[in-house]
Structure 1
């Protein structure tokens, strides 16, 4: 039996307890015998802190020539259509267990798994943070994997990405910017001015994007570069999708992202303090005519009250 098979059987036997890393570490010695148990007993004190540490040490010591997976293969794991989230996460864990030399934190693994979810699930939970794979599995265990029925034909329109000449009709609508984590709420001056669907001025979506990018609330993917106005030549351009099929102000997906951020407290609206301006003389003025008996004309003096 390979180390991968042993760990897979152990996790199945643990049942619900396998979702808690501390319980995995505590129960794992019970699955060992003879040389394997002797190896575990000889581990230095405090050499195992997390389940990832234990799994890595176990594979390293008893590795039996099984093909080692690379991080590129792990990144290629994607959730299939109609595949439950729990099944997808388990597939991800199976591949990860064969990446023996991979060193990622629990939050990094959770983020990598999250990026492989179906687009509509990622969009729904884009403002959430997940501490580990177990946390992600618990929060998304009962999420409906079916894509919502679209009532507007504009959602079905294929995006023409800038510089993309592909004629494939199977391209998915993918956002090429993402929210950053652990940032303070940003003060946004574009509050709601009229009765509308969103709690902000949707005609300012383009400027809100620039503000969020400037304040570090969102970041662009490595292959996303916003073209200059000269290069666009008055074409409609969406900064969120890096697409020329619509403008940022008309991007329904980005407007929903802003609305979700507002509801989550990531964006707060306020009016910047305006500096005091003096348009004229700071005091009320009066014209007073003073007569001089020795002069032919009177003098007019500008005085204040």
Structure 2
């Protein structure tokens, strides 16, 4: 609030007392707060003799010249990179109040829409809004969807490889993943590769076939429990098998 607005508001608030300069001088401190009140109490008792002198002292102490805002300035306003639609429109409104050129609400809304991010402008291009409030409501909803979409993209690294194409009885060779497709990708991918080499087969003594006491067939207890699952090796020695494979490969 400017100094002129403060004095006008004070005069209107006290109504009929506004015509009495003595009463205005006595009541004026009641309208001051913060630094303005601190300034008032530091005045010398005899430094102000009339209401006119009080106005002059008040303007000289707190009057600040605010820069003029033109229509061209409003048209150049743009939404900051990390600024929400709501905050940008609030900043646009403050600047609009300083503009002395009278335009319709529709014209101001068009200028505000032109200052939003490209994705939002593209979404609402050609759409008419009755006022800035409607623009904020719809643009904010779309902004939240864009933010959610961006979060989903950043939370997933995508597919690491291409699955091989299905083959029918050797009609064609399986399709090998082409990692050249990922050379131009900006994201870093971690790819594990295993090489299969030929050589002498390894024998692990822990992989002994389980059989009944007679040694003629696998244990019936496993076969009878589930006909589909037949355990032909001693599963209690899985750790031994794992250790053997680790030592062999290493």
TM interval, short-chain normalised: 0.3 to 0.5
Return the structure number with greater helix share: 2
TM-score normalised to structure 1 length: 0.29
TM-score normalised to structure 2 length: 0.34
Larger Rg: 2
Return the structure number with greater strand share: 1
